[in-house]
Amino acid sequence: MNAPERVMLSNIGAVIIDLDGTMLHTAPDFQVAINRMRDELGLAPLTIDTITDFVGKGTESLIRRVLSVDFDSMETERHFEQALTSYQRHYLAINGDYTTIYPYVREGLDALQTKGLRLACVTNKPIAFALPLLEKMGLRPYFELVYGGDSFPRKKPDPYPLLRVCEDFELPPTRVAAIGDSSNDAQAARAAGCRVLIVPYGYNHGQSIQEVDSDGIVSTLLDAAHLISAEITTYVSR
């Protein structure tokens, strides 16, 4: 699949933005918490590149993939609960300490708000991790809604969390755009009927971002903001 040609997204009323890999570089936090957990299990530390390839499908998937480096599927499940509990304890202790905000994220959020667009953050990170992290990084005030991977029975790539935002904002999916960094975000948006833009610098499970079905790849959140408008133009099918 070739990279999609970028187009203006107009007649948009709200934007749903992913967290890890889109707004925040959280892989260093993952690495610290995971390797502290692995040390408790007597396992060798993993590199940040290895861990980054495992990020994006929720905490349970992350821990299973981390364990599968050393164990077969049966042993992975045997160690899973202990590893998950250990990881969550360590992650809560350092949540945000090693995280950085990607360039032009604040500027992008400011630009989206200036255009009168309503903002929601939908992440597969557990809500108990997501909310304190957004507060710590100073991003929480931008968002009317924040939903985590455990806020509903289903998480991205299932469209339900995005459809819930549409319902809460009383907007049809065609008037909501999503911004993310992975196939999870794009698949959820497509299934929900939302438009979607993808940033190239995040965590796409070790796969090429060029293969993701989206309305365009944008270099930064500010670049995305420049392509999103509340105005109605001929670019929109109604």
E strand or H helix at 145: strand 145-147
In this structure, what token pair is assigned to residue 83?
């590893």
Provide the CA 140 distance to its chain's centre, in angstroms.
15
Q: Phi/psi at 202 (nearest 5 deg)?
A: -95, -140
Is 72 noted as a catalytic residue in this protein?
A: no
Please, which residues have CB within 8 angstroms of residue 49's CB and are 6 or more apart in sequence?
A: none
Task: Check if the beta carbon of residue 235 is closer than 8 Å to that of residue 7.
Answer: yes
Mapping DSSP onto H, E and C, the string for 177-194 reads EEEECCHHHHHHHHHHCC
Give catalytic residue positions: 18
